[in-house]
Amino acid sequence: MKKFLTLILVAWTCNMFAQNNVNYDETRVPSFVLPNLLECNDGTIVTSPQEWETKRRPEILEYFLSQEYGRTRHDKVNVSYKTLTENTHALNGKATLRQIRITFSGAGTTLETIAMTLVPNQRNGRVPVFVAYNFKGNHSTLTDTTIVYSPGFRLVKKPDDPDWKRGCQMNRWAYDKIIDRGYAVITMCYHDIYPDANGKEMLDHSVCALFPDHALNDTRSDAWRAIGAWAWGSSRLVDYLYTQDWADLDRIAIMGHSRQGKAALWAGAQDPRFRVVISNCSGCSGAALAKRVYGENIGVITRSFPWWFCPMYSFYAGNEAAMPFDQHELIALIAPRHVYVASAAEDNWADQKGEFLATSYAEPVYRLYGMTGLNTTEWPGLHQPIMHDAGYHIRAGIHDVTDYDWERFMDFCDLHFPLAKR
């Protein structure tokens, strides 16, 4: 009996080791065949945008809904907005900063979040907008003492956490540059939508609780979780923009970094109001191809962050070869709208090459629309952005959002956004 137990323990440890084993060696990337974007499950080949939209695209969307991020809920939730503050002299008089309390209610639950907008004062008509979550609260993006702490923050941060410091993540928010180029920003702390930690308490404090049967839903293999909820939340920010006379509804971009890069792609795949979708260092389960199993892999991510994905996704832990879909298909769901993927040279964990290849392999769908994706399978060198209907860059440095990234994102939006409406 003792021997048997030891054997089980050894087998379990080996399995855990195999799953935790992270590969950084390009020569050990397994050979794999990606599912053909244009081949329907019944074997027919799509040859027109119409066939793509009515037949193949829904099949691919269904994979992501049922096997990776879970099913987005569409039941009606009541929403109200209250402007808490308005400062017309923000950023040395260049911008107007507003804080808006958004109250959601549904299924007997109420949830409050706080959005913050920065709108250029010098403008001629409506302005383009970046929708982008922050990680550490609205207060982390500026030192302004009037900024209210994001309500979800207290659930995940102890009172002595350094992240309570105002402006603690200002480096990620090139507000001056963004405003100077005529763009507005709407941001919100992602913890307000789904506090980013494990456990039932977090689920209960998330927007998932606004929907009937959320506890029951919890156990279904396709139950949505944090990434699905964050994607839903960014669409709610777009709903708010639709009530504002300064926002140009034809020029809305979403930008997400890392775990929010994953959520941004998922939001962009589902909500056509995002005309440009930007993923920065999104890595595993974002822009990177899963079947390369390079850097972070499904085994590692589903064990570290089980609350991000629907339960079904962990079936592919150490088993990427069995996936009937891959992340290039998530990117292709965004076409014919524009997608931009960015990598950082020191971010091997996110598999930069896999991020590039997935973007590149979305090409056939752009071609269906008579558009041009990256138009190359050759990975560019540092600081050589590719900007067609899809775009990509890799810059020097670590996993982060830098001014260089924002500048390229704005170049890409300038290229694709229609001229301003007056």
> Which sequence positions are flagged as catalytic?
258, 399
The contact mask relative to ligand GTR for 234-263 (x = CB under 6 A, - = no) is ------------------------xx----
Handedness of CA 380, 365, 235, 195 (dihedral sign): negative
To ligand GTR, the closest distance from the beta carbon of 283 in angstroms equals 5
Indicate the residue among 259 and 337 with the shorter CB distance to ligand GTR: 259
Indicate the residue among 230 and 412 with the shorter CB distance to ligand GTR: 230
The residue assigned the tokens 């982390």 is: 140
Q: Is 29 left (phi over 0), alpha (psi -120 to 50) or beta?
A: beta
**330 counts as binding ligand GTR under rule CB under 6 A:** no
The contact mask relative to ligand GTR for 282-321 (x = CB under 6 A, - = no) is -xx-----------x----x--------------------
The total of other beta-carbon atoms located within 10 Å of residue 272's CB is 10
**374 counts as binding ligand GTR under rule CB under 6 A:** no
Indicate the residue among 302 and 359 with the shorter CB distance to ligand GTR: 302
The residue assigned the tokens 């409050």 is: 112
What are the backbone angles phi and psi of residue 227, rounded to the nearest 5°? -65, -40
Indicate the residue among 98 and 291 with the shorter CB distance to ligand GTR: 291
In angstroms, rounded to a whole number, what is the distance separating the alpha carbons of residues 7 and 4? 5
To ligand GTR, the closest distance from the beta carbon of 417 in angstroms equals 27
Tokens linked to 171: 């480096």
**127 counts as binding ligand GTR under rule CB under 6 A:** no
Contacts of 3 by beta carbon, 8 Å cutoff, 6+ apart: none
**227 counts as binding ligand GTR under rule CB under 6 A:** no
The contact mask relative to ligand GTR for 335-354 (x = CB under 6 A, - = no) is --------------------
In angstroms, rounded to a whole number, what is the distance separating the alpha carbons of residues 102 and 41? 42
**355 counts as binding ligand GTR under rule CB under 6 A:** no
In angstroms, rounded to a whole number, what is the distance separating the alpha carbons of residues 91 and 117? 12
In angstroms, rounded to a whole number, what is the distance separating the alpha carbons of residues 391 and 372? 10
Give the footprint of ligand GTR on this chain (CB under 6 A).
258-259, 283-284, 296, 301
